[in-house]
Amino acid sequence: MSDRVYLDWNATTPLRDEARRATAAALDLPGNASSVHAEGREARKWIEGARSAVATAVGAQPRSVVFTSGGTEANALALAPGLRRDGGSAVERLIVSAVEHVSVLFGGRFSQTSIASIGVTRAGVVDLDHLRDLLRGGPPALVSIMLANNETGAIQPVEEAAAIVHEAGGVLHIDAVQALGKISFDMRGLGVDLLTVSAHKVGGPKGVGALVLSEGLSGPEPLLRGGGQELSRRAGTENVAGIAGFGAAAAAAMDCLPASTARIQTLRKQLENGLRQTRGTLIFSDSVQRLPNTTLFTVPGLRAETAVIGFDLAGIAVSSGSACSSGKVQPSHVLQAMGFDAEIAQGAVRLSMGWSTQDADIDSCLEAWRSLSGRLLKSQRRNTA
Ligand code: PLP
């Protein structure tokens, strides 16, 4: 696989060396972190070290971090009726943006009839006036908005949303899975109440994540009941190796964040300049603040699955912007929410970079695209002749 080019970092990232070392070391620990003996205390030490690292990465207190099996579980845990801020009322309904990850769109423990959707602009940014309208008059709401979108990379105005939600007596959860390690942010500065992160998007192992809770928040009720692990918020013997890897990856991501952001932004400029050489290229959300590593694009007539296969045959791993489950490519719900028709929403290709992406990778990707788009345009001319 060494001569392949990996441009699908928003799907998952390679394991960082720091995370590999921490995971391997923790795998060999014999103790259960709940045991009082030396072996147990050693396992506990690794978990608490990771908790501090994740807390530092998001700007929270270590005791606010609840480790889970990933971003999906953290989202499901967060979306719970009954949550309340200090002195506030319990939330009774859920409002989510229309461009959320599916694990949020399912609504956690809210019934489908108590979920409302906030619209987004053509550039994929949450419409705060619509949020205000939805909050007006109804019972207290939990609102869930992602910090950055996984398909377009569009960064959402979560700080403004927090002020609006709190003014209306609600609670704000943000899904920061795609933002961690790509942009710097601070949970307290943003003023949000709950925040989701996942290890495998920052160079940690797959199958571990965290929900981070603000001080003074009551709830959520645990999803998994049993032992008193994670301050009784998430039962089950901890995945010490995964958690240790998450902590090491989060710390490493924070260490290289400013330098890596600047470098990746330069690479993306090169990439997008090259893509724009093809007539009719549309780069989604390019008029708003985006994650520095993400480009979602299309050209007229492009079929995402054909392009993904074409790139793959040329040795480049990319993904379609649209959801692909059970082998069937669905139009992207994100692009449809942005007002694009099903044809365009089915034709978007996502290129996403990471810390080891090099100039040569961008060159190879553009070379593959020139050949693919040339063939595509030729066959379109044939079909219209
Ligand atoms: N939220 C967002 C925005 C994501 O992109 C993903 C994964 O793609 C998730 C949540 C789910 O995280 P996990 O894969 O750790 O369950």
CATH of domain 17-254: 3.40.640.10
CATH superfamily of 5-14+257-384: Aspartate Aminotransferase, domain 1 (3.90.1150.10)
Which residues are CB-contacts of 114 (< 8 A; sequence separation ≥ 6)?
81, 92, 93, 94, 107
Is any atom of ligand 1 closer than 6 Å to the C-beta of 174? no
Q: Ligand 1 pocket test: which of 197, 201, 246, 293 has the largest number of ligand atoms within 8 Å of its C-beta?
A: 201
What was the pLDDT predicted at 143?
98
CA dist., res. 156 & res. 321, Å (int): 18
What mean pLDDT comes out for the span 241-249? Answer: 98
pTM for the whole thing? 0.96
Is any atom of ligand 1 closer than 6 Å to the C-beta of 177? yes
Measured in Å, residue 150 CA sits from the centre of ligand 1 at 8
What was the pLDDT predicted at 184?
95
What was the pLDDT predicted at 282?
97
Is any atom of ligand 1 closer than 6 Å to the C-beta of 209? yes
**pLDDT over 70 at 322, yes or no:** no
Kindly report, residue by residue over 127-156, the tens digit of the pLDDT: 999 999 999 989 999 999 999 999 999 999
> Mean pLDDT of all residues in the chain?
95
What was the pLDDT predicted at 230?
97
Is any atom of ligand 1 closer than 6 Å to the C-beta of 285? no
Catalytic residues: 324
What mean pLDDT comes out for the span 282-303? Answer: 96
Task: Name the maximum alpha-carbon separation found in the chain.
Answer: 78
Name the region of 236 (left: φ>0; alpha: ψ -120 to 50; beta: rest).
left
CA dist., res. 150 & res. 293, Å (int): 11
Look up residue 353 and give its amino acid.
M
What mean pLDDT comes out for the span 196-201? Answer: 98
118: β partners: 97
Measured in Å, residue 110 CA sits from the centre of ligand 1 at 19
Is any atom of ligand 1 closer than 6 Å to the C-beta of 173? no
**pLDDT over 60 at 326, yes or no:** no
Tokens representing 235 are 């039962």
What was the pLDDT predicted at 320?
92
Measured in Å, residue 153 CA sits from the centre of ligand 1 at 13
Measured in Å, residue 146 CA sits from the centre of ligand 1 at 11
**pLDDT over 80 at 378, yes or no:** no
* CA-to-CA dists, residue 65 to 124, 218, 344, angstroms: 30, 14, 40
212, 218, 224, 228: CA torsion to nearest 10: 90
CA dist., res. 84 & res. 299, Å (int): 46
Measured in Å, residue 85 CA sits from the centre of ligand 1 at 26
What was the pLDDT predicted at 380?
67
What was the pLDDT predicted at 325?
53
CB 173 within 8 A of CB 144: yes
What was the pLDDT predicted at 40?
98
What was the pLDDT predicted at 54?
98
Which residues are CB-contacts of 57 (< 8 A; sequence separation ≥ 6)?
180, 181, 197, 250, 251, 253, 254
Q: Ligand 1 pocket test: which of 8, 75, 99, 103 has the largest number of ligand atoms within 8 Å of its C-beta?
A: 103
DSSP-based three-state secondary structure for 3? coil
Find the radius of gyration of the CA atoms of the chain.
21
What mean pLDDT comes out for the span 307-336? Answer: 85
What was the pLDDT predicted at 381?
66
Q: Ligand 1 pocket test: which of 9, 155, 178 has the largest number of ligand atoms within 8 Å of its C-beta?
A: 178
CA dist., res. 198 & res. 74, Å (int): 8
Kindly report, residue by residue over 182-191, the tens digit of the pLDDT: 999 999 999 9
Nearest ligand 1 atom to the CA of 74 is 16
The domain spans of the chain are 5-14+257-384, 17-254
What was the pLDDT predicted at 375?
87
Q: Which region among 87-91, 141-145, 295-299 has the lowest average model confidence (pLDDT)?
A: 87-91
What mean pLDDT comes out for the span 259-282? Answer: 96
**pLDDT over 80 at 364, yes or no:** yes
Q: Looking at the chain, how many residues does it have?
A: 385
Local confidence band at 321 (pLDDT 50, 70, 90 cut-offs):
confident
CA dist., res. 187 & res. 55, Å (int): 9
Q: Which region among 4-8, 114-118, 151-155, 303-307 has the lowest average model confidence (pLDDT)?
A: 303-307
Is any atom of ligand 1 closer than 6 Å to the C-beta of 13? no
Residue 169 phi, psi dihedral angles, 5° rounding:
80, 20
Q: What percent of the chain has pLDDT over 70?
A: 96
CB 197 within 8 A of CB 68: no
Number of other CB atoms surrounding residue 47 within 10 Å: 20
Kindly report, residue by residue over 204-235, the tens digit of the pLDDT: 999 999 999 999 999 999 999 999 999 999 99
Local confidence band at 1 (pLDDT 50, 70, 90 cut-offs):
low
Is any atom of ligand 1 closer than 6 Å to the C-beta of 321? no
Local confidence band at 201 (pLDDT 50, 70, 90 cut-offs):
very high
CA dist., res. 363 & res. 361, Å (int): 5
What was the pLDDT predicted at 125?
98
**pLDDT over 70 at 324, yes or no:** no
